[in-house]
Amino acid sequence: MITMKSLLATVLVLLIPLMSPSNATASKPNILLIMADDVGCDAIGCYGGQSHPTPHIDALARGGMQFSHAYSMPVCHPSRVCLMTGRYPFRFGAEGMKWGDFPEAAEGISIGDRMKQAGYATAVAGKWQLCMMKNDLQHPRRVGFDSWCLFGWHEGGRYHDPLIYQNGQRREDTLSKYGPDLYVEFLIDFMRQSRRDGKPFFAYYPMALCHDVTDDLKGRHVAPYKDGRWMTYAEMISSMDDMVGRLVAALEQMEIRDETLILFTTDNGTPAASYLSVDADGKMARPKVFSIRNGEVVPGGKGKHDDTGTRVPLIANWPGHVRAGTQTDQMVDLTDYLPTVADVAGLEDEDVFRDGISFAPPLFGDARKRQRDWIYSEHRGKRSIRSPQFRLHDDGRFFDLITDPNERQPLSIDDLPHEANQAHARLQRRLNELKTPADR
C-alpha cells in the first residue's frame, strides 16, 4: 500500500534533479548580449523617451529588470574595451587608450575567452572597432570568438552595401543588402546551430545602429539609404528596435526563449549630430540630434562626462529567472558585464584582475552582495567619478546631481555641508587611486 509519506518521498526524488544547480538550463543559460551604438536613455521609450517608439525593447523591460543607474564611457572605443576586458582602459597603459585598437595584454582574458572557459559556443556580429579588420582577419578568434560577422570599420559601409568580414574572409554577397539584416541573420544561424549541437551559446551583438555613416573614405561616400540621403536618427532607432524584436522572435521560434538571458545596453549617450546628406559642395551635412524625454528636449550628449553622455539603458530579461516588471537603482558600468556573464555561466572566481563586479546577484533577487557605489569615466585625458548623488571631475568641479542634474553650477568646495564634504573626500580618494595599470 502506498502511503502519503512514500508518495511525497517519490515526488521529491523526481524533483531534485530539476532543482539542482547542475541542471543545464539553470546553470548555463544561453546569453544574448546586445550593445547598441550611440543610444542614450533619452531615446528609449521605457526610459521616458517620447521621440522614438521602441516597442520590442520596452517589452524586454516589462518582462524583466530595468536598471536606472547603468553607465558607459563617454564614447564608443573605451566603452568596448571596458566590456570586453572587465577593466578600465587606463589599466592597459597607452595601449588601452589607443583609438580603434585592442590591448595585446587582454588577449586570452577577454569576455569571449571567459565564456569559452565555461563551455559556451561564442559569436560576435556587428561593430568591432577593436582593430582594422583588413589587417588582422583573425583578431576576433584570438579574443575568444568561434565565429564572427563584422563590418570593416572605416573601410566601407555598415548599412547599405556593407563591407563585411566573416570568419576571416571578406563577404562578396553584400551588394544591395542591409548590414543589420546580415548581422542578425548570422547570429540567428549561430544560435540555431548551437542548439543543434547541444551547447549553450554566448552571442554578442555590438550593433552598428544607431551610429551614423563614416565620412573618412578618401573622397567617396558609402551607399545612401534612399533619395540620396542616409538614415535619420529616428529611422535608425526604429531599425534598432526591429533587430531586437527579430532576435527575440527567433529565440521563441527555436523554443529556447526561456533558456536565454538577454542583456540590452548601449556604448554611450545619444550623438549631438548625425550625418544625413551631402550639401551643394559635396560635403556631408550633419544636423543636430534631439530627443524628447519626459516632456523635456534633450540634446545628444555623446562625448560628455555628464549623464547625457554616460548614463545608458540596461535591461535584463530571462523569463522565469529575472522577475518581470522590476526596476533597480543598483549602479552598473560596462566593466561589470564580463564578471556578470561569467557568474551566470557558473564560473568560479579567477586569478585575473578585473575592475568589474558581477551584477548577477541583484538580477536574481539578492541585492545584498552588490557593492558598487561609484562610477568612473575617462575620455581624451579627462576623468570623472560619480556616486548616486555627486560627480567629481578631475579639474575639481563637484556637482550635486540631485539638485543640479545638468551640472550647471559646481558646488563651492569650501562651503560644503558635512555629508557632501565626506562624499567629496571619498570620491577624491577613489579618483586618485584610479591611475595604476594592472599587473596581469
Q: How distant, in Å, are the alpha carbons of 24, 51, 56, 82, 295 from that of 246?
A: 26, 22, 9, 27, 30
Of 379, 398, 424, at which residue does a domain stop?
379
**In 3D, which of 233, 238, 242, 239 has the Cα closest to residue 299?**
233
Kindly list the distances between the CA atom of residue 175 and the CA atoms of 160, 182, 227, 235, in Å, as whole numbers in the listed order.
8, 12, 18, 21
Are both 417 and 340 inside the same structural domain? no
The span from the CA of 44 to the CA of 53, in Å, is: 7
Query: Residue 418 has which C-alpha cell?
Result: 558635512
- The per-residue pLDDT for 440 is 55
4 in a structural domain: no
Instruction: Give one DSSP letter per residue of 206-268, joined into a string.
Output: E--TT----S-BTTB-PPPSBTTB---HHHHHHHHHHHHHHHHHHHHHTT-GGGEEEEEEESS
Q: What pLDDT score was predicted for residue 8?
A: 41
Tell me if 11 is assigned to some domain.
no
Q: What is the pLDDT of residue 215?
A: 80
Domain identity same for 137 and 229: yes
CA–CA gap between residue 422 and residue 307 (Å, rounded): 23
**pLDDT value, residue 20:** 33
The helix/strand/coil state of 3 is coil
Q: Are residues 254 and 403 in the same domain?
A: no
Q: Are residues 271 and 345 in the same domain?
A: yes
Q: What is the pLDDT of residue 439?
A: 61
DSSP of 252-298: HHTT-GGGEEEEEEESS---SB---EE-TTSPEE--B-EEEETTEEE
Distance in angstroms (rounded) separating the CA atoms of residues 328 and 224: 41
Backbone φ and ψ for 266, nearest 5 degrees, come out as -140, 170
User: What's the pLDDT at 14?
Assistant: 42
- So what's the pLDDT on residue 4? 44
Do 146 and 204 contact (CB within 8 A), yes or no? no
* Grid cell digits, residue 195: 542548439
Q: What is the pLDDT of residue 12?
A: 38
- State residue 61 phi and psi, 5-degree precision: -65, -45
Tell me the residue range of the domain where 59 lies. Answer: 24-379
Query: 162, 75, 150, 126: which is closest to 243 by C-alpha?
Result: 126
How many structural domains compose the chain?
2
The reply to whether 439 falls in a domain is no
| Pair (312, 416) in one structural domain | no
Give me the pLDDT at residue 219, please. 72
Burial of 53 (0-12, 13-18, 19+ CB in 10 A): middle
Angle between helical axes of 337-344 and 76-85 (0-180°, round to 10): 30
Q: Is 183 within a domain?
A: yes
Q: What is the pLDDT of residue 243?
A: 98
Q: Which of 353, 379, 405 is the last residue of a domain?
A: 379
**Burial of residue 339 (number of CB atoms within 10 Å: 0-12, 13-18, 19+):** buried
In this structure, is residue 2 part of a structural domain?
Answer: no
Looking at the fold, whether 245 and 375 belong to one and the same domain comes out as yes
Angle formed by the axes of helices 55-62 and 233-253, nearest 10°? 50
Q: Are residues 222 and 299 in the same domain?
A: yes
Low-confidence ranges of the chain (pLDDT < 70): 1-27, 367-368, 370, 439-440
Residue 252 lies in a domain: yes
CA dihedral (337, 339, 345, 351) positive or negative: positive
Q: Which amino acid, one-letter code, is at 333?
A: D
- Which residues, other chains included, contact 162 with Cβ-Cβ below 8 Å and sequence gap of 6+? 151, 156, 174, 177, 178, 179, 182
Q: What is the pLDDT of residues 314-337, one digit of tens each?
A: 999 999 999 999 999 999 999 999
Q: How many residues does the chain have?
A: 440
Q: Residue 124, SS3?
A: strand
Which grid coordinates are listed for 241?
528596435
